[in-house]
């Protein structure tokens, strides 16, 4: 059944009045009695429509500085009364309460006030009480009442009023109620998160209003959705929509590039860097990043922390890639890159990123702080007879940044601010090292004088022995194994340096 309801009485009290005018004109045309308060009441009068002040309905003024305006049985009774129950009708008649068929209410801008850096007292005053109560009451009684809780729905309601002569269907009312409960739950979550900052309660709550339907998930038979505001993060200049796998790689790319301040380009494949280099000029950074593993770079995600110019764009355009991200591009570079219509070209905007991460696991969710720590030369403790040189310390710092963002177990070889090779995602650390040696040799890199970083400690001395035989001169590891001394002794025997950081960087 459509269960049409003709709107006879409406309550309107909103913070945002954009696009509200067409609704007021339609309600006036339909002869609907409008009840309102404060600024909204004035707005409606200025449009030439009759309006009844809520104070006149309740016989109570707005009190406590506006904190109490609509919290009254003559308001909520008219919203919550069940039209199908004779007892409810009798009580409305007894207490002279009008049936309210339409409620248009939004909420004080709590999240915006928090984000503005306002003081605690100002934030508290933006916790809406009357509005949230009206929304919940009207949404609960959707069988008889229309609830609009967002300015985004004003145009839709105006069209319904015009096309259906003031009547609504049960499906329309239920849809608006669904949206209203989404708004109220998001609002309550935002308030809880604000209060949960100082001494957090062990509960998990997230509410994200913006979403994008993806073509599919990790594989074509899986559905996928991104929740968040991508438009705030990136401006897309070219290409198709980002896929689930693109987004996962882009996330890894952003986290990695943020470790570097010198002009740097990284190439990622399946969230792991297959090439990265820091140079004085961005074109040189691209050439040396690609040299690391030009085979794996095919179809990868490329990210830069400096402007892409025409020369660099010309070089990048010589290979197939999925996504290119940079903070800026010259006009000529954009024209060159847009020659390949399916390439996704993104301009990265400055956005504050979350400091926690979570994912579903088993029948629940796990959450942790992001790994935002990286150890530089000041945190490196030399544990061998040979001291690393200044350049080796710089290279160890460079390698440590990469190893932190590479899937465990991992070994990274680097030299002169360039990734030479890495072994990633291996079930044993020595296998990761062997993989890295093979890759370095296959692309013609000389490991003599290079450095090695490991995401976790060495359980045995075989890794440093193989590394020394490959030409590695300095090794970085967190330490912490009961057999650390075996690896230190091997380094001393091979006359190579080892530093420990005390910080493990597993990435599963």
Cβ atoms within 10 Å of 199's Cβ, excluding its own: 6
Q: Dig out the tokens for 456 from the structure.
A: 């976790």
The Cα 304–Cα 26 span in angstroms is 53
In the set 140, 151, 236, 340, the catalytic residue is 140
Count the residues in the chain.
508
Q: DSSP readout, 36-78?
A: E-HHHHHHHHHTT---EEHHHHHT---BGGGTBSS-SHHHHHH
- What's the CA gap between 35 and 22, in Å, rounded? 17
Cα–Cα distance between 45 and 36 in angstroms, integer?
Answer: 10
Q: Does residue 340 have an active-site annotation?
A: no
Task: Tell me which of 8, 28, 270, 434 is the catalytic residue.
Answer: 270
| CB 92, CB 81: distance < 8 Å | yes
For every residue of 479-501, which 3-state class applies, written as one string?
CCCCCHHHHHHHHHHHCCEEEEC
The answer to whether the bond into 409 is cis (omega within 30° of 0) is yes
What is the rounded distance in angstroms from the CA atom of residue 341 to the CA atom of residue 240? 8
Q: If you write DSSP's letter for every residue of 152-177 in order, what string do you get?
A: GGHHHHHHHHHHTTTEE-HHHHHHHH
**Catalytic site residue 120?**
no
CB contact at 8 A, 137 and 80: yes
Three-state SS letters, 464-479: HHHHHHHCCCEEEECC
Q: What does the alpha-carbon distance between residue 241 and residue 325 come to, in Å, rounded to a whole number?
A: 14
Q: Which of 329, 335, 270 is nearest to 304 (CA)?
A: 329
DSSP H or E stretch at residue 148: strand 146-148
Structure tokens at 263: 């002009």
**Gap between the Cα atoms of 336 and 322, Å rounded:** 16
3-state secondary structure of 370: coil
Catalytic residue IDs: 140, 270
């Amino acid at each position: 059944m459509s269960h049409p309801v003709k709107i006879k009485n409406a309550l309107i009290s909103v913070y945002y009045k954009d696009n509200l005018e067409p609704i007021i004109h339609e309600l006036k045309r339909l002869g609907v009695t409008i009840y309102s308060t404060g600024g909204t009441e004035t707005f409606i009068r200025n449009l030439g429509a009759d309006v009844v002040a809520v104070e006149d309905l309740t016989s109570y003024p707005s009190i406590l500085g506006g904190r109490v305006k609509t919290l009254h049985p003559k308001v909520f009774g008219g919203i919550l009364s069940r039209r199908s129950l004779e007892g409810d009708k009798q009580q409305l008649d007894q207490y002279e309460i009008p049936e309210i068929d339409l409620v248009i209410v939004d909420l004080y801008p709590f999240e915006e006030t928090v984000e503005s850096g306002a003081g605690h007292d100002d934030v508290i005053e933006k916790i809406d009480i009357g509005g949230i109560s009206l929304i919940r009451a009207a949404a609960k009684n959707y069988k008889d009442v229309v609830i609009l809780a967002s300015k985004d729905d004003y145009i839709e309601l105006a069209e319904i009023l015009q096309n259906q002569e003031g009547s609504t269907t049960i499906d329309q009312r239920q849809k608006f109620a669904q949206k209203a409960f989404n708004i109220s739950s998001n609002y309550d979550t935002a308030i809880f998160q604000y209060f949960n900052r100082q001494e957090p309660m062990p509960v998990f709550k997230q509410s994200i209003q913006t979403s994008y339907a993806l073509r599919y998930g990790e594989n074509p038979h899986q559905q996928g959705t991104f929740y968040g505001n991508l438009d705030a993060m990136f401006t897309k200049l070219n290409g198709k929509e980002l896929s689930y796998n693109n987004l996962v790689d882009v996330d890894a790319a952003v986290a990695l590039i943020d470790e570097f301040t010198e002009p740097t380009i990284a190439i990622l494949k399946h969230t792991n860097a297959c090439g990265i280099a820091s140079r004085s000029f961005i074109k040189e950074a691209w050439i040396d990043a690609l040299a690391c593993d030009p085979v794996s770079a095919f179809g990868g995600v490329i990210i830069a922390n400096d402007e892409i110019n025409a020369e660099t764009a010309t070089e990048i355009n010589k290979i197939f890639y999925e996504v290119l991200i940079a903070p800026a591009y010259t006009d000529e570079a954009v024209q060159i890159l847009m020659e390949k219509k399916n390439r996704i070209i993104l301009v990265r905007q400055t956005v504050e990123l979350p400091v926690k991460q979570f994912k579903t696991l088993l029948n629940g969710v796990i959450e942790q702080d992001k790994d935002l720590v990286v150890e530089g030369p000041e945190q490196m403790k030399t544990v061998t007879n040979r001291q690393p040189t200044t350049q080796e310390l710089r290279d160890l710092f460079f390698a440590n940044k990469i190893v932190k963002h590479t899937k465990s177990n991992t070994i990274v070889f680097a030299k002169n601010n360039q990734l030479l090779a890495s072994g990633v995602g291996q079930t044993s650390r020595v296998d990761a090292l062997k993989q890295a040696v093979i890759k370095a040799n296959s692309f013609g890199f000389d490991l003599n004088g290079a450095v090695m970083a490991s995401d976790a400690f060495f359980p045995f001395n075989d890794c440093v022995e193989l590394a020394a035989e490959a030409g590695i001169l300095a090794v970085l590891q967190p330490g912490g194994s009961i057999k650390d001394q075996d690896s230190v002794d091997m380094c001393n025997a091979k006359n190579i340096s080892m530093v420990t950081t005390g910080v493990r960087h597993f990435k599963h």
